[in-house]
Amino acid sequence: MDTQQKDPAADKIELIKTLMPGVYGRIQKKAAEIGREAYALVRRGLQGEPNCFYALEGGRVVGTMFNHPAINSDLALHVVEFGSAHVCIWGDQLQGVQHGAN
Protein backbone atom coordinates (compact mmCIF):
# COMPACT_ATOMS: atom_id res chain seq x y z
CA MET A 1 0.00 0.00 0.00
CA ASP A 2 1.34 3.43 -0.97
CA THR A 3 1.33 5.66 2.11
CA GLN A 4 2.74 8.73 0.38
CA GLN A 5 0.18 11.30 -0.65
CA LYS A 6 0.63 13.03 -3.97
CA ASP A 7 0.94 16.81 -3.92
CA PRO A 8 -2.42 18.04 -5.29
CA ALA A 9 -0.71 20.92 -7.10
CA ALA A 10 2.10 18.85 -8.66
CA ASP A 11 0.42 18.20 -12.02
CA LYS A 12 -0.53 21.86 -12.40
CA ILE A 13 2.97 23.00 -11.48
CA GLU A 14 4.36 20.67 -14.14
CA LEU A 15 1.84 22.08 -16.65
CA ILE A 16 3.04 25.61 -15.89
CA LYS A 17 6.70 24.65 -16.21
CA THR A 18 6.31 22.78 -19.49
CA LEU A 19 3.45 24.43 -21.38
CA MET A 20 3.09 27.95 -19.93
CA PRO A 21 6.51 29.58 -20.31
CA GLY A 22 5.22 33.14 -19.97
CA VAL A 23 3.40 32.35 -16.73
CA TYR A 24 6.39 30.41 -15.42
CA GLY A 25 8.64 33.37 -16.14
CA ARG A 26 6.28 35.72 -14.29
CA ILE A 27 6.24 33.38 -11.30
CA GLN A 28 10.04 33.39 -11.21
CA LYS A 29 10.11 37.18 -11.53
CA LYS A 30 7.57 37.57 -8.73
CA ALA A 31 9.64 35.25 -6.52
CA ALA A 32 12.67 37.45 -7.17
CA GLU A 33 10.61 40.45 -5.99
CA ILE A 34 8.82 39.06 -2.92
CA GLY A 35 10.59 35.79 -2.16
CA ARG A 36 9.10 32.39 -1.47
CA GLU A 37 5.69 33.91 -0.74
CA ALA A 38 5.20 33.95 -4.53
CA TYR A 39 5.41 30.16 -4.65
CA ALA A 40 3.08 29.88 -1.65
CA LEU A 41 0.48 32.05 -3.43
CA VAL A 42 0.77 29.92 -6.58
CA ARG A 43 0.37 26.69 -4.65
CA ARG A 44 -2.63 28.01 -2.69
CA GLY A 45 -4.32 29.15 -5.91
CA LEU A 46 -3.61 25.82 -7.60
CA GLN A 47 -5.16 24.01 -4.64
CA GLY A 48 -8.43 25.94 -5.03
CA GLU A 49 -8.05 28.89 -2.68
CA PRO A 50 -9.49 32.07 -4.23
CA ASN A 51 -7.68 35.43 -4.21
CA CYS A 52 -4.17 33.94 -4.30
CA PHE A 53 -3.13 33.14 -7.87
CA TYR A 54 -4.83 32.80 -11.25
CA ALA A 55 -3.15 32.63 -14.64
CA LEU A 56 -3.80 31.82 -18.26
CA GLU A 57 -1.69 31.27 -21.34
CA GLY A 58 -2.28 29.60 -24.67
CA GLY A 59 -5.80 28.51 -23.77
CA ARG A 60 -4.64 26.91 -20.51
CA VAL A 61 -5.94 28.18 -17.18
CA VAL A 62 -4.47 27.46 -13.73
CA GLY A 63 -5.29 28.66 -10.26
CA THR A 64 -8.55 29.87 -8.80
CA MET A 65 -10.53 32.92 -9.87
CA PHE A 66 -10.61 35.98 -7.68
CA ASN A 67 -13.93 36.95 -6.13
CA HIS A 68 -13.44 40.69 -6.56
CA PRO A 69 -15.36 42.22 -9.52
CA ALA A 70 -12.60 44.71 -10.40
CA ILE A 71 -10.07 41.91 -10.83
CA ASN A 72 -12.34 39.94 -13.16
CA SER A 73 -13.14 42.95 -15.35
CA ASP A 74 -9.43 43.83 -15.58
CA LEU A 75 -8.70 40.26 -16.65
CA ALA A 76 -11.31 40.42 -19.40
CA LEU A 77 -9.91 43.76 -20.60
CA HIS A 78 -6.35 42.43 -20.88
CA VAL A 79 -7.31 39.22 -22.60
CA VAL A 80 -9.99 40.43 -24.99
CA GLU A 81 -9.07 44.02 -25.78
CA PHE A 82 -5.29 43.89 -25.50
CA GLY A 83 -4.77 40.29 -26.61
CA SER A 84 -2.40 39.46 -23.77
CA ALA A 85 -0.24 36.41 -24.44
CA HIS A 86 -0.40 35.46 -20.77
CA VAL A 87 -1.90 36.88 -17.61
CA CYS A 88 -0.95 36.31 -13.95
CA ILE A 89 -2.97 37.70 -11.07
CA TRP A 90 -1.42 37.65 -7.60
CA GLY A 91 -3.15 37.75 -4.22
CA ASP A 92 -0.81 40.42 -2.88
CA GLN A 93 -2.07 42.78 -5.61
CA LEU A 94 -5.62 42.51 -4.28
CA GLN A 95 -4.80 43.95 -0.86
CA GLY A 96 -4.89 47.57 -2.03
CA VAL A 97 -8.20 47.03 -3.84
CA GLN A 98 -9.80 45.56 -0.73
CA HIS A 99 -8.66 48.49 1.40
CA GLY A 100 -9.95 51.20 -0.95
CA ALA A 101 -6.74 52.01 -2.82
CA ASN A 102 -6.86 52.74 -6.53
pLDDT in tens, 63-89: 998 887 777 777 777 666 666 677 778
Rounded to whole angstroms, the Cα distance separating 59 from 54 reads: 13
Q: C-alpha 76: how far from its chain's center?
A: 15
Rounded to whole angstroms, the Cα distance separating 97 from 102 reads: 6
Q: pTM of the entire structure? A: 0.75
57: β partners? 60, 86
Q: Which residue has the higher pLDDT, 23 or 90?
A: 23
pLDDT band at 3 (very low <50, low <70, confident <90, very high): low
Rounded to whole angstroms, the Cα distance separating 12 from 47 reads: 9
Strand intervals (E) in the chain: 53-57, 60-63, 86-90
pLDDT band at 62 (very low <50, low <70, confident <90, very high): very high
